[in-house]
Amino acid sequence: MTAVLDQECQLTPLGDGAYERECGRIWWGVGAQHGGYVMALAMTALDLELGDPAMGIQHCSLHYMKPFVDGPFRAEVTVERRGRTMANATARLWSGGRMAGLVLASFATRRPIAELVVATPPAVSPLEPDEVAPEPPFPVPTFDHFYLHPRIHDVDGGGTGRVGGWVVPRTPEIVDHRYLGLLADLWPPVIYHLWPPGTGVVSQSVDLTYHARTGLPRADLPPGTPLLVALSTRGSTGGFVDEDVEIWTDAGELLAISRQTRYVHS
């Protein structure tokens, strides 16, 4: 077996910062390409255009303007600034011949300076070797690529709502920032557990911002490594939902964080 996400992120360089591919429905969500897959495509194009293995993605903000569909995908990348330890880039993303997304990203050479970690991982039970995951939460292709093992379900209405658990890919996916960008948008939103039954509304990504907390890939995180994904929300107001995500190793190391806004509609 091979890493499906890596295969589906292969882009053809056309010159002048342009990259293209034909997208199928391997990473299809609810009526459109999965938002995390679009983030992975954007990161791929940005990294190719920067072309500096010494610098890794530090932050990537993606604004979803229109649904990303199957068919032609195009990224037009501009490296806005290239310094000694940081670089900044922007990208316009096209889907089906229409501009569908805008990206702002930064790259950096990680430096061990004044490091301090105060975050602690959620207290959850470990993943058992023979543990069986429940059925996928939604019948869409993206969820067919993973086993989701719930561990966090704090949705009693008191304080911040939280859900999450262990994510195990069914294929040996490379643990890089593209993969974590997909995981940041993978687990079903917390708000779905908070809305009363019969609400009859759904949420759709408006923007997703990803922040790396380590350099990837790493030898101690081989393909297929289970990761803990923890989501939180403060609520839904004015037709929008906020959502924060943390991605942890089983050793309690924080790999990445993200913040997302979702648009609520019927």
Report DSSP letters for the chain, one per residue. Answer: ---HHHHHT--EEEETTEEEEEE-STTB-SSSB-HHHHHHHHHHHHHHHH--TT-EEEEEEEEE-S---SEEEEEEEEEEEE-SSEEEEEEEEEETTEEEEEEEEEEE----SS----------PPPPTTPPPPPPSS-SGGGGGEEEEEEEEE-SSSSSEEEEEEEEESS----SHHHHHHHTTTSPPTHHHHSPTT---EEEEEEEEEEESS-SS-TTS-TT--EEEEEEE--EETTEEEEEEEEE-TTS-EEEEEEEEEEEE-
Q: Please say if the pLDDT value at position 55 is more than 90.
A: yes
Fold of 4-111+122-265: Porin (2.40.160)
- Provide the pairing of β-strand 240-248 with 18-23: unpaired
pTM of the predicted model over 0.85: yes
Q: How many CB atoms lie within 10 A of CB 122?
A: 16
Sketch the domain layout of the chain as residue ranges.
4-111+122-265
Q: Please say if the pLDDT value at position 159 is more than 80.
A: no
Average pLDDT for 153-162? 82
Average pLDDT for 128-139? 92
Q: How confident is the model at residue 157 (pLDDT cuts 50, 70, 90)?
A: low
Residue 142 gets the label, from left (phi > 0), alpha (psi -120 to 50) or beta, of alpha
pLDDT at 266: 86
- Name residues whose C-beta falls within 8 Å of residue 161's C-beta, 6 or more positions apart in sequence: 154, 155, 190, 191, 193, 194, 232, 233, 234, 235
- Tell me the per-residue pLDDT of 87-127, one tens digit each, with 9 for 90 and over: 999 999 999 999 999 999 999 999 999 999 899 999 999 99
Q: Which two tokens stand for residue 136?
A: 């996928």
| Distance separating alpha carbons of residues 48 and 187, to the nearest angstrom | 28
pLDDT at 138: 86
